[in-house]
Homo-oligomer: A and B are copies of this chain.
Amino acid sequence: MTPGAENAHMAETDATEAPDAYEALLDHYERIATLESAGNVLSWDQQVTMPDAGTPARSRQMSTLSGLGHELLTEADVSGWLDDLDGADLSGGRAASVREIRREHRRADRVPQDLIEEISGKSSEALPVWEEAKAEDDFDAFAPKLEELLELKREYAEHVDPDRDPYAVLFEDYEPYLDIGTAERILERLREELVPLIDDLKAADPDLADPFDGTYPEDAQEAVSREILDGLGYDWDRGRLDTSSHPFTSGNQFDCRITTRFRESDPLDALTATIHEFGHAQYTLGLPQDAFGTPLGQDRDLVVHESQSRFWENHVGRTGAFWEWALPAVREQFDGLADASAREMYEAANRIYPENLIRVEADELTYHMHIILRFEIERDLVRGDLDVADVPDVWNEKMEEYLGVRPDTDAEGCLQDIHWSHGAFGYFPTYTLGSVLAAQLDHHVRTDLDVDDLVREGEFDPIREWMGEQIHRHGCRYTTPELIEEATGEAFTADYFVEYASEKFGELYGV
């Protein structure tokens, strides 16, 4: 047999065998994805309901699940099926599924399973250590865990691609299709634009209202959160609202749960967190149910996810129209607000606090300086350009440089976020990129719908449906740039965010 004849035979075999390989690959992948979704339940439970002393067993459970998932993803059969499907003539949806599985397989295949299990186990161990270190303001207690996780994640990146910047490699775990170059360009653009804008706003001295100056019991705050979620259209048959130290959303298209937290003196904090997490949950609940366990039933990535939470939090929840709608609920549950107007609440919800130290309590605008700071620190940590021991000092210096304020404690500084205790390096930039995308989507949904009118009337269905149609239902059918192009007809851009921020805060602060 000549080489040419052999190739011809192989091509013929591919054409007839590819569908079988596709079915086998997808069946196999469904087990992996389902295992991962089971792990999400364990993680939710760990953060919401698990008793304190349950950690040792939970760590073992989580690392067993992630280890098995890794083994399944790297089985020789998977390479075989992917080889069979190489160049196969598949429909758009099938081609997308194969693209996503191939990408996941390649990354996993390069990383030894032992390392994956070790990272998962160390992350579970680190979580309660971080919680206690934060409670005790004791960075030294957390530092060894952080160092271990950094070392393991560097090792991970080295396995994926020893020739590339390890931070760029880690970033792709959260945002696979917008490269780190794009991320850096957008973060730099924002820094250039926002620092002078924030300076202008600080210099202005508007007389902004702040009617939320009392204390608001947890049960009243929870009642408001539930009423707002009802109004926005959260599907309680597929969700729950609980509390946790850091608000988060977890689940799948059948069961997607929100957490928030309540601070007596700051009812806007809980409300904002609730609406933010609603946006995440709405995305997950909008994924097609019949594609559960396949790439077409999975969220695109963290940037797109964050665009959904930020859209609802900022472009709906921080508008004047929103406060007109929410006014009766807020007045009913909270004492002392009978005379407060929607405009006053709008002003309170949108005033900026450059002196604030806590990212998750930051206003919409200065928030991004918190992200830029974290991005720079974690990038330098991963690259080995910064020692763990120096994190508190560098953190505090950057806070002073960007926002003119210096934390007194590490609990209010470099210990405030949960992410690094998960070994999540490269995650933070997705928050700002998500906000940028939210502004771009907001521009386009407002081209199609009168969003302010709808919000004012509490008619959120058309807005939810627009996002469902443009974003949610596609799962991973498109890459991120393709999805943005599909939804908006243009490439990813920071223009709308810059324009939106300048106009909104310019009006509010009279600059």
A104 to B225, CA, bound (A): 49
Taking a contact as CB atoms under 8 Å apart, the answer to whether B293 and A60 are in contact is yes
Taking a contact as CB atoms under 8 Å apart, the answer to whether A42 and B50 are in contact is no
Taking a contact as CB atoms under 8 Å apart, the answer to whether B237 and A57 are in contact is no
Contact with B along A1-30 (1 / 0, CB 8 A): 000000000000000000000000000001
Query: Are A255 and B65 also in contact (CB < 8 A) when A38-B38, A45-B45, A57-B292 are?
Result: no
Query: Are A51 and B238 also in contact (CB < 8 A) when A38-B64, A56-B254 are?
Result: yes
- Please tell me if A34 contacts chain B, counting CB pairs below 8 Å: yes
* A121–chain B nearest beta-carbon distance, Å: 11
- Please tell me if A41 contacts chain B, counting CB pairs below 8 Å: yes
A38 neighbours in B (Cβ, 8 Å): 38, 42, 61, 64-65
A34 to B31, CA, bound (A): 18
Q: Which residue of B lies closest to A235 (CB)?
A: B53
Query: Are A289 and B237 also in contact (CB < 8 A) when A31-B68, A34-B61, A64-B38 are?
Result: no
- Please tell me if A47 contacts chain B, counting CB pairs below 8 Å: no
* A291–chain B nearest beta-carbon distance, Å: 12
- Please tell me if A55 contacts chain B, counting CB pairs below 8 Å: yes
Taking a contact as CB atoms under 8 Å apart, the answer to whether A61 and B49 are in contact is no
* A27–chain B nearest beta-carbon distance, Å: 11
Q: Is the interface of A mostly helix, strand, loop or mixed?
A: helix
Range class of the A interface residue count: 35 or more
A191 to B87, CA, bound (A): 72
* A30–chain B nearest beta-carbon distance, Å: 8
- Please tell me if A192 contacts chain B, counting CB pairs below 8 Å: no
Taking a contact as CB atoms under 8 Å apart, the answer to whether B255 and A53 are in contact is yes
Q: Which residue of B lies closest to A52 (CB)?
A: B237
A253 neighbours in B (Cβ, 8 Å): 57
Chain A contacts with B in 232-264, Cβ cutoff 8 A: 235-240, 251-255, 257
* A373–chain B nearest beta-carbon distance, Å: 36
- Please tell me if A337 contacts chain B, counting CB pairs below 8 Å: no
- Please tell me if A58 contacts chain B, counting CB pairs below 8 Å: yes
A293 neighbours in B (Cβ, 8 Å): 60
Taking a contact as CB atoms under 8 Å apart, the answer to whether B257 and A56 are in contact is no
Contact with B along A285-315 (1 / 0, CB 8 A): 0000100110000000000000000000000
Q: Which residue of B lies closest to A32 (CB)?
A: B64
Partner of A34, one of B52, B60, B238, B252: B60
A68 neighbours in B (Cβ, 8 Å): 31, 35, 68
> Which one of A54, A240, A253 has the highest number of Cβ atoms from chain B below 10 Å of its Cβ?
A54
- Please tell me if A37 contacts chain B, counting CB pairs below 8 Å: yes
Taking a contact as CB atoms under 8 Å apart, the answer to whether B56 and A240 are in contact is no
Chain A contacts with B in 42-100, Cβ cutoff 8 A: 42, 45, 49-58, 60-61, 64-65, 67-68
Closest 6 CB pairs of A and B: A54-B255, A57-B254, A38-B61, A53-B237, A34-B64, A53-B238
